[in-house]
Each structure stands twice: as structure tokens, then as C-alpha cells.
Amino acid sequence: MTGEAVTGRRLPDGWGFLVLPLVAFLLVVFVHPLISVLARSLSDPEPGLGNYAAFFDSPVYLDVLVNTFVVAGLVTLVTLVLGFPYAYLMTLATPFWRGVLMAAVLVPFWTSLLVRTFAWVLILRDTGVVNEVIGALGGQPVPLLRNLAGVLIGMVQVMLPFAVLPIYATMRGVDRRLLQAAEGLGARPAFAFWRVYAPLTLPGVAAATLLVFVSSLGFYVTPALLGGPQNVMIGELIVQQLSGVLRWGFASALAVILLVVTGVLLLLAARVVDLRRMIGGGR
Amino acid sequence: MNETGGSVDVLGVGKTYGQAVALDDVTLHVEPGEFMTLLGSSGSGKSTLLNVVAGFTRPTSGSVTVDGRDITHDPPYKRDLGMVFQHYALFPHMSVAENVAFPLRRRRVRGAELTRRVDEALDVVELGGLRDRRPAQLSGGQQQRVALARAIVFRPRVLLMDEPLGALDKRLREQLQLEIKRLHTELGITFVFVTHDQDEALTMSDRIALLRDGRVVQVGTPADLYDRPASRYVAEFLGESNLLPAANDSEALLVRPQDVRLSRPGADLPAGDHAHDGKVTEVIYLGSGLRVEVELRSGGRLIARTGTRLDPVPRPDDEVVVHWRQQDCVTVPA
Amino acid sequence: MRPARVALWALAALTALYLVLPVFVVVPMSFSDSAFLEFPPQEWSLRWYENFFTDLTWLDSTIASLQIAVQVTLLSLVLGTAAALGMVRGRYPLRALVSGLVMAPVLVPYVIVGLAVYAVFLQLGLTETALGFVLVHTALAVPYVVITVSSALMSFDRRLEHAAMGLGAGPVTTFATVTLPLIAPSLAGGAVFAFVTSFDEVVTSVFLSGPDLTTLPVQMWSGVRVQIDPTVAAVSSMLLLVTLSLFAGAGVARLVRRRKA
């Protein structure tokens, strides 16, 4: 819409005011609580940076932070390794099979998180489906629950749609004739794929990486149900500090740390990827 | 339907967008029942002017009156003008009949009266059989007819049309041009029609207002503009033209290609004809005639349109004499 | 097919199975007679379904979840649609900041939102109240409404509104008769998102729940967290059934619409 057709937009119609109710609502319900968390982390039990000092002085807590990053990193890696070829295949498949592949991505996307996590508990526990099958085949039970394997299996399944959809969206916009052109110019297919096609899908891959990694940092439900004491992530630690020992100030400091890490990553990434499109791609 | 049209007066209207001037002090009077065409290239301000009359664009200065009533500050929906948009702007979620009924419902027409008038309007545009279709199921020409029916169904005194035929192919355009012309005669209402197509403007209009850079450069009948252009720009905008140096530098001589004749050197010319020697540089066969380009010995080029049965048929490099009657050329301010 | 293509299909097929299949394990197990939900079930029974429909804690939490989700849907539709209209069509200061604020609830980890809101709502007495849940869930759901509706508005042909106004419709009539019907599919999409976001929300709800008010996900959460309550399998199966029928319904509706057009 350019030129003369837009003139209606110039009428003083007050559309802008319609943003106000939501802004006010979010300031009260969302921003204000976040600010009080920051305030509390600096004032409870006593004013100062004590809560932050306690965090950075303790190897136990730092381990949790490191573990959070490790888990998020592993989840991102596995998600990309599975999601990239999946998305690529979607661009090659016939409309019918593309629909099937898309449905497979969307079904878990729309299924309750708890239902999915619960299903993993039933499958992965020592008396679960996997170990029953292994047992029936004469093997030894493999511990899959309350450890890193369980967390990864559960979280990757949750995050896969968020990787496949943006990558697929980008791939769909890449002109496949470029591959033919490269091959016509003498490049072997693998070379053409990795040097011509793959770089063009980078925006989607970047969006997927960011979305998966940042979301993984803040996970609570899946690690709490599928992980063990060795793999506590920062989200779980926050809840523990609150429900177990009522250390409000410390829990708030943890929340601020997680929020700052998330925010910094997002701000850095916002220079590279369009956040709105990224969230939209998750639909 | 025997409405009479309303008169439209645009008085000193200006419109600026920041630094850019879209309309510069435009004044234009449209007679009741007249078919007035706003003609110009893109960016000339013709659509802006129409939008000012329609109420979608608020002018920076000046006023618009319809039948003497000042509507400059009325919103579009209070102006009671019919409007046909370039891309039809049919409501995709409504049937043809619902689209046509829309302006009537806004005017509280209900029941049998509503049905009757919708049917009547659809009959006028010869679409009676398609009343229950959705716009997406219609061809471009049919959609444009629905847009027409919707614009006239509430019997506006003035109908505004913004390049209504721009999206159609040539054959359909020509057919709809005639239909719109017929509609204008039948309804007797005032039409203000925007187009960038000079042929369309010449065919349809009672009068044409030619715009350039936000100003009206000439208003007049098609014959006025074509035969007696007020400036070089008008002459060149409408049809093909040959402009030759005149006696003084501030003027030019205009000869239309169809008035130019070709003769062999030394042939007898009718008395009083202007004549120039030249050499044929190009001959294009157009079916309806020939388009012959001649390089004049005195410098400059000239286009002649002739019949195909000239004897002999001119060929490139032929030496010729081009000539025309005194009354076929006019002086134009340069 | 080239070997690479075969490998690609194999990997994708396994991924698809990994995405879809595990969820359905709960269905057969929900019919198990045993409290241990062993696999495969030895005896079949409907006792866990019976348990759900006779246990008030389960029923109450389900009703609470539905009520909250409906209110969240309505509130986020109103706030989100208004904001989308403003953001797409309006002029207002601090555009980037406003967009960031509106999208922030999706990006901030829910644990943090839960903690923050819990602290504030405790003081206001809003924990364990439907209002408290509705406020928080709306904050989390509204970005999705804004996204769906604003993308519809961006592709909306405003010449249709000009046409309506030129034909005599005032701003309100134009919005009601032209704009709203045409963006209705997106509103419906946004509504589904909002409903699901609220109905499915665990983390913030765990903070706000208590004896006075517990939502279904929180009830399920406590049925898995410490010791497995087999009723969760029955609930999960029923939720799956609802999800799948919605999916199928949407598919059929799309098919029917395509036939019609």
C-alpha cells in the first residue's frame, strides 16, 4: 500500500489509542511483577547484592547454571540434527506426504504438555514400555528416567516443532533451481547442497536455534518430571528455593539471572533474526 | 431512473504530503449530468483529486461543493456519491446481490423495495442471473459490472470512477467503455472518471481535464484538447503529434499524422499547402494504414499516417514531399 | 531412489514416529486395571475413567480450567484485537517498545512469570482465585491473538473499507459489516490459541494453585510429580481424543469450504 491509496491512514482516526488497553494490562499484570522480582532480589532478606553473591559463590548453584546451558545446548543440537533433514524432506515430498509430515509436527504441538510428559514417564521408567520390551528380549533394564537421557528425550520432542516450522518456512523460499544450476556448473550434489542450498536456509536455522535454545533455558515441567537430581535446571531450582525453603530473595535473584541471560541472548539475536516472524513461525 | 446529475465544484484545492505537492490550487467545475474525465499520467494528481472529491483524502487547502453544498469536511459516507474503484473492491464475503444491497441497507431501504431496486440495478448492468454468486466466482468484467451496479443502485447524483477499466484486457475495456457511456446517457447523472488512457478519455468524455504535476493544464471537450491543445504537453499527451518550429520561438506548429500527406518530389500540390522535402526513414504496416517516418531536409522528423493503397507504397530512402492543408495545422505555445 | 534420499526418508519417518507415537501409549494404559499401569496391561477396566468422573477434585479442576480458559479467550480477543488494530493501523509513540512489550510474555520463561506473579498476587489475595488465573493466562495468551489478528489486518485490503464508506457506511458499520467478517477466521484462530494456552498452562498455574482453586494441568502435575496417579492416564486419553477431534473437525471444515468455493 503506497501512494494515493494510503491516504485514509492519514485521517485522524485514533487507531493508535487502541493499543493502550493492552499496554496498560501488561504493565500491571506482567511488567510490574517482574520489576518487583528485581526489587525483591536486592532487598530480601536484607538490602544488597547478597543473593547474587550467594549464587556466584556457590559451586552447587553455578553447576545448576552450567547444567542449564549444557542441557539447552544439547537439546538445540539434537533438535537441529533431527529438524533440518525433516524440514528439507518436507520441501521435497508430494503434497500428501508433506501434509502427513506437517501433521506429525503439529500433533504434539497441540497436545497438552503434561499429557506428553506423562506419556514419556510411562515409556521411559524402569517398568516402562521401553524397558519391558528390552526385558522381553532378554536385555538389562536401561535407566532412561530421572537422568539426562530422559530430559533430552522429553525436551527435544517439545522443541522439534519450533525448529522444523521456521526452517521449513525458510527452505520453502529457497529456489531449488539454484541446486540444478550449481550441479550444471559442475558441482557434485553434496557440494551443491552444502555450499549453495544450506547457506540460504541459514536465517531459518538461526531462528530455530535461538528459539529452541532460549526456550530450553527456562524449561521447568519436563526436566522436573523426567530429570534427576543430577540434572536440575535453573527453573527447577527457582521453584525449589521457593516451595522448599521459602528463600524469596534468592529465588528472585535466580529469576533475574535467568531473565537477564534470556534477554541478552534475545537482544543479540534480534539483530540477526526477526523475532516476530520467529514466534509467528511457531504457529 | 430519471435522476438528474449534480454539479461538482472544486475550488482552489491543494494537497501536500510533507514536501511533496500532490495537488496545486486546482479549480474545476463539473456541469450537472456531464461526463468529466480526469486524465493524466501516474503521479499527475488525478486520483488524489478524485479522492478529495470522494472524501478519502483531506485537502490541505480549498473546498469541494456538490450542488452548491460544501462537503469539504464531510466524511465519505455522508457525501452520497457513487464510487467505483480500480480493483472493484467488491466485498468477498457477500454475494453479488448483497454487495449491491449494501448501500441501500445503509440508507435504510428494506424488504420488497430493497429486492426490487437490487434487481433493477443488476438488470441495468445485465447481470440479473448472477445475483447469488460470490465475487470470486465472477470474471473481471462481471466484477466491474457488479461494482457499477453497487455504485448506482442508491441513485447518487454524482458517480466517481477511479480507473475502473484499468485491470481489464483491451477488448473488454472497449466493450465496457461503451456500456459505461450508455449508462451515463440512461441515468443522466454526473460522471467523474479517472483514467491515464487518452483513447478512453477521448471516446467517453463530454469534457476532459488534463492534469500534470498536480495542476489542471487544460479543460475542454475531446475536440478542444485534441485539435486545439493549449500547450505542447497537451498536444503530445493526446495522440501522436508532429511539432515543428513555428515563425517565432515561443510557439510550435502542430500537425496530426493523419493530416500529413505524401507526394513524390515535383508532383503538383494543392494550392496553399504547407510543404517540406524529406526522406523516408521507416515504414510500418499497421493493418489500418501505414505509419511513415520522414526525416525533413530542414531538420527534424515527422510522422505521417496514410492509407495502405498509396501508389507507389513509400519505402525507406525514398525522396518525398510532405504537405498538409493550412487548416490542419495549429499553433501551440511551446 | 538415491541412498541419500532413502536415509532422509528413514530419518524423517523415525522423527515423525518419535513426535507422534509416544503420546498414544497412554491410551491403552488408561484402560489398565492395575494401579501400576504396567505395559502391556494384564487386565482391562474403566476404573480410572470412573475415578475421574466420581472424584470431585478432578471434576472441579476440569471445570475451573474450562471456565478460566473461556474467560481468557474472551479477554485476550478483546485486548488483542484492539491492540492489533492499533499496531497495524495507528500512529503512536514508542512503537518498538510497545511491540516488544506485547511479545514479551512469550519470550520470558514461564517460571519467572509464575514466581513474579505469585509474589504480587499473594499480597493482593489473588492466588487461588479465578481472576488471578485469568489475568496471568491472558498475559500469556494475548501475544498469539495479536500475531494472528495483526497478520490478517496487514493483508487486509483497506480499499474494501473505503468502498464501504463511499457507499454510505460509517466507521462502526464498516468495521462490523466488512472488516470483522473478513478477519473472522483469524479471530477464530487467535481464540483457539488463547483457549489452548490457558487450558494447557502448567507452570504459572502451579504457583497460583492451592486447596481453594486448582486447574486440571496442576491436578495432573501432582498426579505425576510424586507418585503416579493412574487417573492421569484416563485424563490424558480424553484430552487426546478432544485434540484429535478438533484436528479432524478443522480438517473436515477446510475440506468442505474448499468444495464450496
What is the per-residue burial (b if ≥16 Cβ within 10 Å, else e) of C25-59? bbbbbbbbeeeebbbeeeeeeebbbeebeeeeebe
Domain that holds residue A203: 58-281
Q: How confident is the model at residue A281 (pLDDT cuts 50, 70, 90)?
A: very low
Q: Domain spanning C47-156+190-217 has what CATH number? A: 1.10.3720.10
Predicted structure pTM score: 0.83
By 3-state DSSP, what share of chain C in percent is helix, strand and coil, each rounded to 5?
A: 80, 0, 20
| Percent helix / strand / coil, chain B, rounded to 5 | 30, 30, 40
What is the separation of C-alpha A68 from the centre of its chain, rounded to a whole number of angstroms? 13
Split at pLDDT 50, 70, 90, the class of A276 is: low
Contact residues on chain B for C162, CB-CB shorter than 8 A: 56, 76, 85, 89
| Closest CB from C159, C168, C177 relative to B77 | C168
Residue with cell 493412574: C230
Is A218 part of any domain?
yes
End-to-end CA separation in angstroms for chain A = 26
> Looking at chain B, which residue has its C-alpha nearest residue C180?
B93
pLDDT at C259: 63
Residue A262 lies inside a defined structural domain of this protein: yes
A84 CB neighbours in chain C (<8 A) are none
Q: How many CB atoms lie within 10 A of CB B295?
A: 14
Domain boundaries, chain C: 47-156+190-217
pLDDT of residue A258: 94
Secondary structure (3-state) at B63: strand
State the DSSP code for C210.
B
Asked if B99 reaches chain A (Cβ–Cβ under 8 Å), the answer is no
- Contact across the interface for C89 and A122, Cβ inside 8 Å: no
A62-108: pLDDT as tens digits: 999 999 999 999 999 999 999 999 999 999 999 999 999 998 998 87
Residue pair A213/A258 in contact (Cβ under 8 Å)? The answer is: no
How large is the angle between the packed helices A113-124 and A129-136, nearest 10 degrees? 20
Domain count, chain A: 1
**Per-residue pLDDT tens over the stretch A112-157:** 889 999 999 999 988 888 888 888 888 888 899 999 999 999 999 9
Angstrom CA distances, B235 to A18, A194, B43, B198, B250, stand at: 52, 61, 19, 11, 15
Q: Show residues of chain B in contact with A4, CB under 8 Å.
A: 22, 47-48, 51, 57
B57: alpha, beta or left? (left if phi > 0; alpha if psi -120 to 50):
beta
Q: Across the interface, do C165 and B56 touch by the CB < 8 Å criterion?
A: yes
Contact yes or no for A280 and C147 at CB 8 A = yes
Q: How confident is the model at residue C34 (pLDDT cuts 50, 70, 90)?
A: confident
How many Å apart are CA B273 and CA B269, to the nearest integer?
7
Judged by DSSP in three states, B34 sits in coil
Amino acid (one-letter) located at B58:
R
> Distance between CA A105 and CA A108 in Å, rounded?
6
- Residue stretches of chain B with pLDDT short of 50: 1-3
Chosen from C107, C138, C226, C243 to mutate, greatest number of chain A CBs within 10 A: C107
Residue A197 cell numbers, joined: 542450498
B182 touches chain C (CB under 8 A): no
Burial class (CB in 10 A: 0-12, 13-18, 19+), A151: buried
| CA of C67 vs chain A CAs: smallest distance (Å) | 17
Domain holding A260: CATH number? 1.10.3720.10
Interface partners of B (3+ CB pairs, < 8 Å)? A, C
Q: Is C33 helix (H, G, I), strand (E, B) or coil?
A: coil
B320 sits in the region (left: phi over 0; alpha: psi -120 to 50; else beta) called beta
Nearest to B59 by CA among C161, C101, B50: B50
Residues of C with CB below 8 A from A18's CB? Answer: 82-83, 85-86, 90
Q: Distance between CA C166 and CA B76 in Å, rounded?
A: 5
Q: Is residue A8 part of a domain?
A: no
- With contact defined as 3+ CB pairs under 8 Å, the chains touching A are B, C
Closest residue, chain B, to A4 (C-alpha) = B48
List C-alpha distances in Å: C156 to B97, C3, C89, C150, C178.
Answer: 23, 46, 11, 9, 11
| Residue A146, all three cell numbers | 530421572
Alpha-carbon distance of C72 to C140, in angstroms, equals 10
Whether the pLDDT of residue C96 is over 70: the answer is yes
The CA distance from C197 to C216, in Å, is 13
Query: What does DSSP say about strands B207-212 and B215-220: parallel, antiparallel, or unpaired?
Result: antiparallel
- Separation of alpha carbons A35 and A29, rounded Å: 11
pLDDT band at C260 (very low <50, low <70, confident <90, very high): low
- Please state which of the ranges A10-19, A179-188, B3-12, C9-18 shows the lowest mean pLDDT: A10-19
pLDDT digits (tens, 9 = 90+) for A2-22: 333 333 444 335 888 999 999
- Tell if the CB–CB gap between C116 and A104 is shorter than 8 Å: no
pLDDT category at A47 given cuts 50, 70, 90 is very high
CB distance C109–A258 less than 8 Å? Answer: yes
Closest CA to B11 of B74, B68, B95, B86: B68
B313 secondary structure, DSSP code? P
Interface test with C, best of B77, B88, B114 (most C CBs within 10 A): B77
What is the predicted pLDDT for the residue at A2? 35
Cβ-Cβ contacts under 8 Å, C199 against chain A: 112
User: CA dihedral defined by A136, A139, A144, A148, rounded to 10 degrees?
Assistant: -160
Domain ranges across chain B: 8-234, 257-264+273-333
CB pairs under 8 A between A and B: 14
Average pLDDT, chain A: 87
Position A274 scores a pLDDT of 62
Place of cell 484462530: C189
B35-39 vs B207-212, strand pairing mode:
parallel
Question: 3.40.630.30, 3.40.50.620, 3.40.50.300, 3.90.1300.10: which CATH number matches B8-234?
Answer: 3.40.50.300
What pLDDT does residue A6 have?
A: 39
Q: Which fold has domain B257-264+273-333?
A: OB fold (Dihydrolipoamide Acetyltransferase, E2P) (2.40.50)
Q: Which of C199, C230, C188 is nearest to C49 (CA)?
A: C230
pLDDT tens-place string over residues C142-179? 999 999 999 999 999 989 999 999 999 999 999 999 99
C-alpha cell at B124: 441495468
Least CA distance to A121: which residue of chain C? C224
Between A203 and C195, residue with greater pLDDT = C195
CA-nearest residue to B154 within chain C is: C167
How far off is chain B from C173, nearest CA to CA, in Å? 9
Best of A1, A6, A7 to disrupt the B interface (most B CBs within 10 Å) is A7
Q: Report the pLDDT value the prediction gives residue A49, as an integer from 0 to 100.
A: 93
Contact call for residues B196 and B163 (beta carbons, < 8 A)? yes
